[in-house]
Amino acid sequence: MKSKEARIELLIMACSAGGMILLMDLLASLQKNVRFAVLVIVHRNDRYQSSLEQMAQQRCQLRVKSAEEKEILQAGTVYFAPAGYHLLIENDHSVSLDVSEPVHYCRPSIDVSMQSAAEVYKESLLAILLSGANRDGAEGIHAISRYGGITVVQDPNDAEVDIMPRAAIATGAVSVILSDEQLEAYCTNLQGEN
């Protein structure tokens, strides 16, 4: 699998309930010289002020920001999907923000972003799905696998809320299941395309 990871251009990290601490640890473990962009999809309510980007920037060696409409994803930058919008990826690797109906009661939806990215990035996409309390992400993981990307899921036994990782595993489309400790080591070793 290492040869496949060498070709990644986009890493998606996604979580919901119970996944935030591990997400921050994984972002902190990324090396500053990675050659891929990072997209983070977190279920959060747009009615409340959120400081996720600032929290991540304090721990992460990469630049962290909220994704903006028509922005082209750049290697070495972490983009958070803004609350209240589905985030889609266009063919030119730019961001499109969408306010259509919530999916699995969520906007941003993990499935929407993963399915959109899978069609664009194909085998150069890596997704890591963590703890969560619904099935969001399972269809996205399946789409990424179908397009040849790499799908990594947190071990449900380590997840604070195991519904999301178990739903993804049930699709049969998960490349590897890793413990929290293995996930940190995995992210530390990621570099991306030469």
Q: 3-state SS string over 154-169? A: ECCCCCCCCHHHHHHH
- Structurally, the chain folds into a number of domains equal to 1
CA–CA distance, 39 with 53 (Å, rounded to integer): 12
pLDDT in tens, 21-34: 999 999 999 999 99
> Active-site residue 50, yes or no?
no
Q: What is the CATH number of the domain that holds 63?
A: 3.40.50.180
104: annotated active-site residue: no
pLDDT of residue 1 exceeding 60: no
Three-state DSSP at 120 gives helix
Catalytic residue, chosen from 113, 124, 136, 142, is: 136
Assess if residue 29 is contained within a domain: yes
Domain that holds residue 52: 2-188
pLDDT per position as a tens digit, 141-152: 999 999 999 999
pTM of the model: 0.94
Phi/psi at 12 (nearest 5 deg)?
-105, 130
Active site residue 92: no
